Amino acid sequence: MHIGLVGLGKMGGNMRSRLRNGGIEVTGYDRNPDVSDAESLAAMVATLPAPRIVWIMVPSGDPTTATVKALSEVLSEGDMVIEGGNSRFTDDTVNATLLAEKGVKYLDCGVSGGVWGLENGYGLMVGGDAADVERAMPVFDALRPEGPREEGFVHAGPVGAGHYAKMVHNGIEYGLMQAYAEGYELLAAKDIVTDVHGCFKAWTRGTVVRSWLLDLLVKALEDDPDLAQIRGYVNDSGEGRWTVEEAIANSVPMPVITAALFARFSSRQDDSPAMKAVAALRNQFGGHAVTSAGPTSGAGSTS
């Protein structure tokens, strides 16, 4: 099988390598000529046997929308596009409708595995028509981890279901990461615990909290025991917000994932306005001490 792959960054470049290692011929296109196999999208498409399969691996939002539109102008009836970025599931219907006007098939695929996917394989969550999924199965089999297919791949439902599943996956990831992070802070704060890294490492076998995320935290602490080289500033790429929005829309309580998302917002504040207000209120009603932002401090009202 021979496919096209658009977007050869950290994820896309590694996916190209894993596909080739799995016996799939790949012609990749990227705006960076140093990594691209073709000079343009049209040139990439021209190398592919019909009916063609093209996998998109570019940032969500406008870059994906522009890529789908550009492909709609160079692909033909019977060709297929697989959108593997972290797009919002609502975008998939729009993309599928646009391509359907040209007779081009569409699958959405949530991809998990990060920079480790080249070696370990990628968890895949796919949305679309069953016949289209079956046609692309050699590609999915080359990308997923070794072992039973159902332990690294799912046909989650119709168009949009793959990205919806990946959105929920990432929302869960927010909650797990926050729990490990809070546990780390408490262990580090207590003077009787002298080996914080060792505690986490001891949990990696035989305990109910063991996971790949825990393994990665252990590795991070091995490299930087006090995490002194890292600022406590955490971005969110969208999936956590979308998960919380969907929870509200479907009346599903998600206190853990919501709190984890808000914790990321807190990380971006050098001096939280909300916490300033809390400190001021405690000072007003109880005379509790506050930390001055200026040269002096006091208790109670200054009026």
> What residues act catalytically?
166, 173
Contacts of 75 (CB under 8 A, 6+ apart): 45, 52, 54, 81, 99, 102, 104
Q: Specify whether the CB–CB gap between 54 and 75 falls below 8 A.
A: yes
The bridge status of strand 123-127 relative to strand 53-56 is: unpaired
Tokens linked to 125: 């969550």
Q: What is the largest CA-CA distance in the chain?
A: 79
The bridge status of strand 25-29 relative to strand 80-83 is: unpaired
Among 243, 278, 279, residue whose Cα is nearest residue 259: 243
Q: Specify whether the CB–CB gap between 260 and 175 falls below 8 A.
A: yes
Q: Within 10 Å of residue 136's Cβ, how many Cβ atoms?
A: 20
Tokens linked to 140: 């999915």
Tokens linked to 126: 């796919």
Q: How far apart are the first and last CA of the chain?
A: 78
DSSP at 203: T
What distance in Å separates the CA atoms of residue 259 and residue 135, rounded to the nearest whole number? 41
Give CA torsion, residues 170, 173, 174, 176, to 10 deg.
Answer: 170
Which H, E and C letters describe 24-56, residue by residue? Answer: CEEEEECCCCCCCCCCCHHHHHHCCCCCCEEEE
Q: Within 10 Å of residue 71's Cβ, how many Cβ atoms?
A: 25
Strand partners, 82: 55, 107
